[in-house]
Amino acid sequence: MQHDYKNLTATYDVLGIGSAIVDILALVEDEFLIREALDKGGMCLIDAKRANELYESLGQCTECSGGSVANSLAAIASLGGKSAFIGRVHEDALGKIFTHDMRSVGVDYTTAPAKHGKPTARCMVCVTPDAQRTMATYIGASCELNTTDIDAQKIADSSIIYVEAYLWDLPEAKDAIRQAFAEAKKAGRKIAFTLSDSWCVDRHRADFLDFIAECVDVLFANEHEICALFETDDLELALEKITPLVDVTAVTLGERGSIVLQDQQRNDIPAQNISKLIDSTGAGDLFAAGFLYGITQGWSLYESAALGNSCAAEIIQQLGARPQRPLNKLVA
Amino acid sequence: MQHDYKNLTATYDVLGIGSAIVDILALVEDEFLIREALDKGGMCLIDAKRANELYESLGQCTECSGGSVANSLAAIASLGGKSAFIGRVHEDALGKIFTHDMRSVGVDYTTAPAKHGKPTARCMVCVTPDAQRTMATYIGASCELNTTDIDAQKIADSSIIYVEAYLWDLPEAKDAIRQAFAEAKKAGRKIAFTLSDSWCVDRHRADFLDFIAECVDVLFANEHEICALFETDDLELALEKITPLVDVTAVTLGERGSIVLQDQQRNDIPAQNISKLIDSTGAGDLFAAGFLYGITQGWSLYESAALGNSCAAEIIQQLGARPQRPLNKLVA
């Protein structure tokens, strides 16, 4: 399979636009999800009052920067890629933590923190004994992303612009995203998109189908999300339907690895062996990181997906979605 | 060995007085410690400027509540013990995290957060590949503990008052500690003390020897700390010297387990087997938690130390010093 995602003249391999979130992780029992009416495996948006109540009901927590595309960008930088991120925090302690964690691994992150309005976004990540994660997000300052944050020069200087479906839940951010796509297309840049969450796909299915057909070059999804997009339980049918719409589709299957499709060609890439599954948070984000790093280095789609699988294997053996150790050893 | 640390009439098994700190944990290479001139395995105090510089130089971080005695108290509550904590945070985001993490596991923690003055204490915990931790602490609001925070009723209602040697580094807190001991002695309560750190012992050796001889019933130390106390490299000699000074001494030896001494009697308790050593942060704190929980339940010193070893084994298999899963399963 041939592709042209390597761009020797670009300053950044990948520029991401997404929610700027700090995760608050807690290990919980399944009964906790039932008691708190949280859909297992999903992500729901909550208001400030509910966020405080839910936090009060959690036991011991660990704080770690998060955000789907932000996780991917941090991992791309950790792999050795050149990356930039656009997303809004508030000028508060969690905002400083998020900013540190992006810049410290080498992500170019310069979106001005908000001085007024809502605090930095936080996501309560409830990890059950099966290592599945269930998320409730107070989106706070992430909502306040606007067109002034979209740096046309940075977009023109990036091989790939990567965005998350979660952004469609933030009506205020829509103009900013639309402007980013226009800039990207004007500069002839590629667009990568992750479907984020099957409930999110349910909320925005028609918009996503239009957007994918019009703009997207590389699509990321897990099997539930790609099936939700076409309202089917049949993965093969969903794969058949997506292929003509985008150049490259990468679907993650958990312990069964991943599938990459381009035209009529398909690669099935087995998952990496792991020694201990701890927390699935960030598995999809880290797959995307490895894959995007690979294709922007000119690697084959198979090699890129294999690196994605390795990155995912690394992240599910620790708590939280930011790699505690540098990932560059995986590149060799 | 007989002891009388179980007190059926006390409201709290253990009341702790200590620094109220949020840990900022990062995995680093040994070269990082050399570059930043940090003494491996130790704890140093740093000012706000140095704390900011050091934070900037760290890569990806994870935030988790800490503080030596605070870690022990949280673990005692997690084991099912009744515990209270006195220590000062600022009214800021890290202070809220610390407060949540104490209360959420059941510690009675009501010290009023400071509204003015320095921010909540933070400790940069640098974990090297050998799982050793090296700490640099900006003590911030922890310093502002004062006599008004010492709740005489709570002290009188606790079987054991537990304090950390680190408090001796905070001159402002000294009056508060002195008052707490007076209240404890007046109420006939026991005093437990941890030597915290061998550099800390070097700074306050004479004070500690006086304090131990006059006040302490239960002493915790690791082998380096107990040797530092008597300025010797000979552990057996140090054990011989400490025995007449206190009722019970518990010394942790890392992978060689622990030793408990009372009068002429000695127990050597082997360490628990572990599957993967990740981070030694909190090993001593969790040993103390298990031991204090055991003796306040009326367990033998051997059984109590065995639980201490189990708690330590649990904490060194995760990042950070607060147990991510409840410890009560270890009690059975």
Map residue B305 onto helix, strand or coil. helix
Cβ contact, residue pair B319, A323, below 8 Å: no
- Nearest-by-Cβ selection for B105 from A59, A92, A93: A59
Range B122-135 average pLDDT? 98
Q: Which residues of B touch A94 (CB under 8 A)?
A: 93
Ranges assigned E (strand) in A216-304: 218-222, 248-252, 258-262, 265-269
Place B171 in a pLDDT band, splitting at 50, 70 and 90.
confident
Range B127-138 average pLDDT? 97
Query: Which residue of chain A has the CA closest to B64?
Result: A62
Q: State the pairing for strand pair B265-269/B258-262.
A: antiparallel
Handedness of CA B62, B274, B200, B212 (dihedral sign): positive
Q: Which residues of A touch B94 (CB under 8 A)?
A: 93
Q: Does B157 touch chain A (CB under 8 A)?
A: no
Ordered structural domains, chain B, with CATH: 12-19+67-91+103-116+143-330 (3.40.1190.20)
Q: Which of A1, A2, A5 is nearest to A218 (CA)?
A: A5
Q: Which residues of B touch A104 (CB under 8 A)?
A: 56, 58-61
Give tens-digit pLDDT for A258-281: 999 999 899 999 999 999 999 999
In the numeric block, which tokens belong to residue B152? 């005489």
Q: Alpha-carbon distance B159 to B162, whole Å? A: 10
How big is the A-B interface in CB pairs under 8 Å? 79
Q: Does B90 touch chain A (CB under 8 A)?
A: no
ipTM of the complex: 0.94
Query: Which residue of chain A has the CA closest to B91?
Result: A93
Cβ contact, residue pair A27, B325, below 8 Å: yes
Q: Does A104 touch chain B (CB under 8 A)?
A: yes
Q: Does B52 touch chain A (CB under 8 A)?
A: no
Least confident of A25-39, B55-69, B159-173: B159-173
Task: Evaluate whether A22 touches A97 at the Cβ level (below 8 Å).
Answer: yes
Residue A1 one-letter amino acid: M
Task: Write out residues 111-130 of B within 8 Å (CB-CB) of A.
Answer: none
Task: Evaluate whether A128 touches A40 at the Cβ level (below 8 Å).
Answer: yes
Cβ contact, residue pair B56, A104, below 8 Å: yes
Residue B116: C-alpha distances to residues A5, A96, B87, B92, B220 (Å):
54, 21, 16, 10, 34
Place B2 in a pLDDT band, splitting at 50, 70 and 90.
low
Write the DSSP assignment of A129-181 as a string of letters. TTS-EEEEEE-GGGGG--GGG--HHHHHTEEEEEEEGGGGG-GGGHHHHHHHH
Mutate to test the interface with A, among B127, B324, B327, B329 (most CBs of A within 10 A): B324
Residues of chain A with pLDDT under 50: none
Contacts of B28 (CB under 8 A, 6+ apart): B58, B59, B126, B127, B128
